Amino acid sequence: MSAPDGLVTYGDEQQERVGFFTDTSVCIGCKACEVACKEWNLIPEDGLSWTGNSYDNTGELSANTWRHVAFVEQEKPLLTNGNGETGLRWLMESDVCKHCTHAACLDVCPTGSLFRTEFGTVVVQQDICNGCGYCVPACPFGVLDKRHLAPAPDLPAFAKEDGRVWKCTLCYDRLKGGHEPACAKACPTKSIQFGPLDELRERADARLAKLDAEGWNGAQLYGRDPDDGVGGFGAFFLLLDEPEVYGLPPDPVVTTRDLPEMWTNMLAAAGALVVGVAAAFVGSRS
């Protein structure tokens, strides 16, 4: 397994890498994860609205939503072998920050606010973030966003918008205290499983083998492979259809993978600029 970026500095304090395995085949769409996350992390309320998209009135992961349950209604049998076929199925998936092995947000953060914890997770230090917003378009999953809400709209001193970037911390504070993250704790069906990443991968492989044997339609692991474009997710999934059906990118890549090529290109262009300007002076003395 490739070591996550920035995981060399902890020495004796290094912990086992932990993460989530979100098994969508047992998700019942109760949104207890969304609620537990908001409560534990004191995330502000960001509007109560109806989207009209099945039971999803949250919409997407954002600065104020760190767990988001997607609901997909399909005319597609749940099983491929015809047993118990209804032709209709309802997919639910609790989405979260992927805590990538090679995290673009962490790489591009100009202040060092985003960092790799001793647990191998990716966290924003709120006292460092200056709200430059670079991580927002760098994330291939659209996880991070700037928080525009005021910390306390009724108090003049705190009525200005927050302006910083927020995302799932994998409950860094709870991990430090030896507890599992709030969403996993609240999940009533063990759709959200927390634990050491290696163990979760084994569990996911066994689960997929079982679903395949039972003929589940479209069952696949997403982000389990340590050799994928982001070096594997710290929080990976078992899906029942292609990733884009759930609003996930089919083949994400950490953008900084191509950065050496980009810097080389830039230096060549910078050199060409000098040569070009110098050439304009040839024979111009008169």
Partner 1 sequence: MSYVTAAGTETRSYYGRPIIKEPVWTWEIPTYFFTGGLAGASAVLSSAARVSGNEKLARTALYVGTAAELVSPALLISDLGRPERFHHMLRVVKPTSPMNVGSWVLLVSGGASTTAALCQLLGRFTPLRRAASVVATLAGPPLATYTGVLVADTAVPAWHEARRELPWIFGASAAASAGAAASMFVDPRDAVPARRVAVAGVLAEGALMQAMELRLGALGDVYRQGQAGKLSWAAKGLAVTGAALLGTKGRKSRAAAVAGGALVCAGELCMRWAVFTAGRQSARDPKYVVESQRRRIERDGTKATTKPA
Q: Is there a contact between 155 and 270 (Cβ–Cβ < 8 Å)?
A: no
- The residue within the footprint of partner 1, chosen from 31, 38, 67, 164 (CB under 8 A), is 164
Residues between 167 and 226 that touch partner 1 (CB under 8 A): none
Q: Name which of 53 and 81 has its Cβ closer to partner 1.
A: 53
- The residue within the footprint of partner 1, chosen from 30, 79, 133, 179 (CB under 8 A), is 133
Binding flag, residue 1, partner 1 (CB under 8 A)? no
* Smallest distance, partner 1 to C-beta of residue 139, A: 6
Binding flag, residue 240, partner 1 (CB under 8 A)? no
Q: Name which of 39 and 73 has its Cβ closer to partner 1.
A: 73
Binding flag, residue 155, partner 1 (CB under 8 A)? no
In the chain, the N- to C-terminal Cα span, in Å, equals 66
Binding flag, residue 111, partner 1 (CB under 8 A)? yes
Binding flag, residue 280, partner 1 (CB under 8 A)? yes
* Smallest distance, partner 1 to C-beta of residue 185, A: 27
Under 8 Å CB-to-CB from 92, ≥6 apart: which residues? 24, 27, 28, 29, 69, 70, 71, 72
Under 8 Å CB-to-CB from 15, ≥6 apart: which residues? 118, 119, 120, 175
Binding flag, residue 227, partner 1 (CB under 8 A)? yes
Binding flag, residue 22, partner 1 (CB under 8 A)? no
Binding flag, residue 116, partner 1 (CB under 8 A)? no
Task: Sketch the per residue contact string, 28 through 57, with partner 1: x for CB under 8 A, - otherwise.
Answer: -----------------------x-x--x-
* Smallest distance, partner 1 to C-beta of residue 177, A: 28
* Smallest distance, partner 1 to C-beta of residue 113, A: 7
Task: Sketch the per residue contact string, 73 through 102, with partner 1: x for CB under 8 A, - otherwise.
Answer: -----------------------------x
* Smallest distance, partner 1 to C-beta of residue 249, A: 5
- Interacting span for partner 1 (CB under 8 A) from 23-31, 37-45, 82-90, 239-247: 239-247
* Smallest distance, partner 1 to C-beta of residue 178, A: 31
- Interacting span for partner 1 (CB under 8 A) from 17-25, 42-50, 150-158, 237-245: 237-245
* Smallest distance, partner 1 to C-beta of residue 174, A: 26
Output the DSSP codes for the chain.
-PPPTT-SS-GGG----EEEEEEGGG-----HHHHHHHHHHTPPP-------BTTB-S-S-BTTBSEEEEEEEESS-SBSS-TT--S-EEEEEEEE----SS-HHHHH-SSS-EEE-TTS-EEE-TTT-----THHHH-TT---EE--S-S-TTSGGG-S---SEE----SHHHHHTT---HHHHH-SSS-EEEEEHHHHHHHHHHHHHHHHHHTBTT-EEES--TTSTTS--SEEEEESS-GGGGT--SS---GGGGHHHHHHHHHHHHHHHHHHHHHTTTT---
Cα–Cα dist 36/65, whole Å: 11
